[in-house]
Structure 1
Amino acid sequence: MMPVRLMLIPALLMFAVFLTGCSEGPEKVVEKPAPVHIDSDDECHVCGMAITRFPGPKGEVITEKEQSVHKFCSTKDMFAWMLQPENANRQHTLYVHDMSQTEWESPDDTALIDAREAFYVAGSERSGAMGPTLATFSDEAAAQGFTKEYGGQVLKYSEVSMEHLVSEMPMGDGDMPH
């Protein structure tokens, strides 16, 4: 039979582990805000265009601290705003349309997905509100399938850069689309 002192050691160790786990305080669980419906009278936060009057995937940002909702007529405008230095490192909640689940001409808000988990096709033949746009998909295979039909390059959220936005701008008589 084990002496009482030796039996207390495992019990004291378990109690110490229990106290350590409890000493950190309550864990904060931050729930991600749900996407907000894009209404027919909503205007793009970047260019002021009516969002729903144009084809292609749209974007939506819910700001980290203020929980303000910014809606965009295209994924390209959403990235133009997100890649600005004052926004780039913030943990805003971002949504885009999953174009494998909705029509290109009139995206349905039931198909909004987490933009940070989406796959993007840059440089395709498909146009959005301002011309070339970034097509968005929840599944990499769907994005690859899109490139077989319309061209372009599949990117992850973290790979999209300002160069992808600028390189797709139409080169013409100097008129800017914004």
Structure 2
Amino acid sequence: MKWLVVILSVLALGACRDDRLARPDPVEMTPEAVGFYCQMTLLEHAGPKAQIHLDGMPAPIFFSQVRDAIAYLQMPEQNYAVTATYVQDMSGATWDAPGGWVEVSEPIYVIDSDMRGGMGAPEFVPFTDPSAAQAFVRDHGGRLKELSDISTAEALGPDGRQIEPPDENTSDIEARLSALSAQKQKGN
């Protein structure tokens, strides 16, 4: 009888642990869904979106652009445990009607294309179908990258491109301000 109690206790604890570690399903966007950074209604913006589920949070945080979600994941300041991240698959979809939700590591991404995300900034466009991604590159430029190959500099840089590493005598904030100033001067 004691062994039965021990076995049932172990099984019960294992079941609790599995529930806690279970990946939440993606949540469909409603008219009330707003972007984490911009706080604007997401359904009003074209292009693929993303959602990140954080441990202990009752609802995901949404992003008006996939690049913003990838940047969030790579930010050194981000300290919440991420339980799931989903992006909208653009395979067989249109810019005004993105596809269904897929796990962030599943697609290949087109970066540096001429398409802009929901907030008008460079976008990382996810495709689960590699041939659809290649067709997108033919039509809109860019290059293909796996999620694991997208650098922090590409995700956090002002225009999505690699930023120059700071001079070893320059602080990180000085390097960022310098990069932003150079970008502004190019625009003038």
Same fold (TM over 0.5): yes
CA distance 1:116–1:89, shift in 2 (3 Å): farther
Query: Normalized against structure 1, the TM-score is what?
Result: 0.72
TM-score by length of 2: 0.68
- CA drift of 1:144 comes to 2.2
- Which residue identity is paired with 2:123? T
- Residue of structure 2 in register with 1:40 after alignment: 31
* AA matched with 1:53: E
**Residue 62 of structure 2 corresponds to which residue in structure 1?**
71
In the alignment, structure 1 segments of 5+ residues that lack a partner are 1-21
Unaligned runs of 5+ in 2: 1-6, 162-182
Tell me how many residue pairs correspond in the alignment.
152
For 1:1-178, what aligned pairs fall within 5 Å after superposition? 25-26=10-11, 27=14, 28-29=17-18, 30-87=21-78, 90-108=81-99, 111-130=100-119, 131-165=121-155, 166=157, 168=159, 171-172=183-184
Q: Are residues 31 and 76 of structure 1, via their aligned partners in 2, closer, same or farther at CA, if it must alter by over 3 Å?
A: same
Cα RMSD (Å): 2.8
Deviations 1:25-75 (A, max 9, x none): 445544321110111232111221221111111000111343541001010
Which position in structure 2 is the counterpart of 1:7?
A: none
Q: Contact (CA 8 Å) 2:52, 2:82: kept in 1 or not?
A: no
Structure 1 counterpart of 2:30, one-letter code: D
Structure 1's 122 and 169: CA in aligned 2 closer, same or farther, altered over 3 A?
A: closer
> For residues 90 and 144 of structure 1, do their structure 2 counterparts lie closer, same or farther at Cα, with a shift above 3 Å needed?
farther
Percent identical among aligned pairs is: 25
- Bigger CA radius of gyration: 1
Conserved 8 A contact 2:50-2:62: yes
